[in-house]
Amino acid sequence: MAKVVFYTNESVNIAVAEGLKRRGVKVITSKDAGNLGLSDEEQIEYARQKGMVIVTHDDDFLSLAMEFEYKGIVFVHQQKYSIGDLIRNLKLLWDIVDQKDMKNHVEFL
């Protein structure tokens, strides 16, 4: 089973990625990748090329999901979870999904 690698875009608090890393989850931030300021289209293309699942609060990615091929999108409404709850939910998702399960799939948390 191939584990997913999460890619958090600028809308996701950096503390989420740091918390995931401390729990052994593979995650790259747009800042880590040097991608701050890229358009949503460029972000989705970068994640697709690198085989990563985008984690975002940005609902623009939902419409892009209709236009692009991608390795997965996890959409989380910004005020739905505290940082700790979001980390726990993403860790659970990471534990149970396989990379192939996420291809061209949007997961709503």
Q: How far is CA 94 from the centre of its chain?
A: 11
Alpha helices in 4-82 (DSSP H): 14-22, 40-50, 60-64
Task: Examine residue 1 and state whether it is found in any structural domain, yes or no.
Answer: no
pLDDT at 1 over 80: no
Task: Examine residue 81 and state whether it is found in any structural domain, yes or no.
Answer: yes
pLDDT of residue 27: 98
Q: For residue 36, give both structure tokens.
A: 């701050």
For 26-85, write each residue's pLDDT tens digit.
999 999 999 999 999 999 999 999 999 999 999 999 988 888 889 999 999 988 899 999
Query: Whole-prediction pTM value?
Result: 0.93
Domains contained in the chain, number: 1
Task: Examine residue 47 and state whether it is found in any structural domain, yes or no.
Answer: yes
CATH code, domain with 25: 3.40.50
One-letter amino acid of 46: Y
pLDDT at 108 over 80: yes
pLDDT at 2 over 90: no
pLDDT of residue 54: 97
Q: Which domain holds residue 48?
A: 6-108
Task: Examine residue 15 and state whether it is found in any structural domain, yes or no.
Answer: yes
Task: Examine residue 22 and state whether it is found in any structural domain, yes or no.
Answer: yes
Q: How far apart are CA 26 and CA 72, in angstroms?
A: 15
Strands 27-29 and 6-8: parallel
